[in-house]
Structure 1
Amino acid sequence: MDSSGWLSALALFLAVGLLAESVRQLRRRWLLVKVEGHSMEPALRDGGEVLARRTRRFETGRVAVVLAPDPVLGWAETRRTGSRDALWLKRIAAGPGEPMPDSGDPVPAGHYFLLSDNPIGADSRRHGPCPAAAMVGVVIREF
């Protein structure tokens, strides 16, 4: 192979590597989540998809993507399903120090009080405030 062949092969290898790194960086920042269930209706419909941005900054009123709690232990343990985490979409009703709906007690530091838009959904009323470590991101757009 002559030098131009080596340069072409090297350029192709670098282009593929750059593309792979770009995809990896996009996946670190963005997340596509399928809406499952009716807990967020009418805002989000079962079977739809949302684009979420991974972040550590959360504002009251936004829809958050969170790790689903364990059905028995609640937020004390997050549920793992194979290699992917089970995710919930819930509206942030109150942040750290803000009054929790119904009780008026302040949300503990490092936690968020999450609610379903539809009253039939499970949320912080059942599982308690969600630890910030279980918060993944915020919804940017619905598809």
Structure 2
Amino acid sequence: MASSYWFYPLLLIVAVALTVESVRQLRRRWVLVKVEGASMEPALKDGDEVLAKRTKRIQTGDIVVVAAPDPELGWAEIRRLKAPWWIKRVAAGPGETAPGSAEAVPAGHYYLLGDNPAGEDSRRHGPCPEKMIFGTMVRGF
């Protein structure tokens, strides 16, 4: 009788712990980001939401969620976890020619552009380091 007295509370604690860990793992792999501004119009409008999945398979043409660069220092001096998210399209990958330039994108970097030329992107901040990219858009809402 005494052993069954502890069984159900222990089972409840294990179930809660597993649920918390599952949610933590999902948050590490997926992110929902709200579009702010007109930089990705017409594909994505202000107020739309984007679901992105963490991945290392990034191709030209993909829409990615990326840590925004520091306004003054650019990509090199930003901490990804504290930066707001940007949503941009990959215009060129490592070794490909950057749009509007004769130079190739350096290894481990991507040239990111907004669909609307009015926004900020790699034209101002230069190629984005791969480590700043969270993942690619899976779906827009």
Instruction: Please report the TM-score for the alignment, with normalisation by the length of structure 1.
Output: 0.92
1:132: Cα distance to partner? 1.1
**What runs of 5+ residues in structure 1 fail to find an aligned partner?**
none
Q: Identity of paired residues, percent?
A: 64
Partner Cα distance (1:22, 1:79) in 2: 26
1:123 to 2:121 alignment: yes
1:115: Cα distance to partner? 0.4
Letter in 2 for 1:94: A
| Shift >6 Å, 4+ stretches | none
Partner Cα distance (2:131, 2:21) in 1: 26
Letter in 1 for 2:73: L
Higher helix share: 2
1:79: Cα distance to partner? 6.0
Deviations 1:95-135 (A, max 9, x none): 00001101131101111000000110111111111111211
Q: How many residues align?
A: 141
Q: What does residue 42 of structure 1 align with?
A: 42
Q: Is the 8 A contact 1:32 1:51 kept in 2?
A: yes
**What runs of 5+ residues in structure 2 fail to find an aligned partner?**
none
Q: What does residue 100 of structure 2 align with?
A: 102
Q: What does residue 13 of structure 2 align with?
A: 13
1:133 to 2:131 alignment: yes
Partner Cα distance (2:43, 2:79) in 1: 25
1:113 to 2:111 alignment: yes
RMSD: 1.6
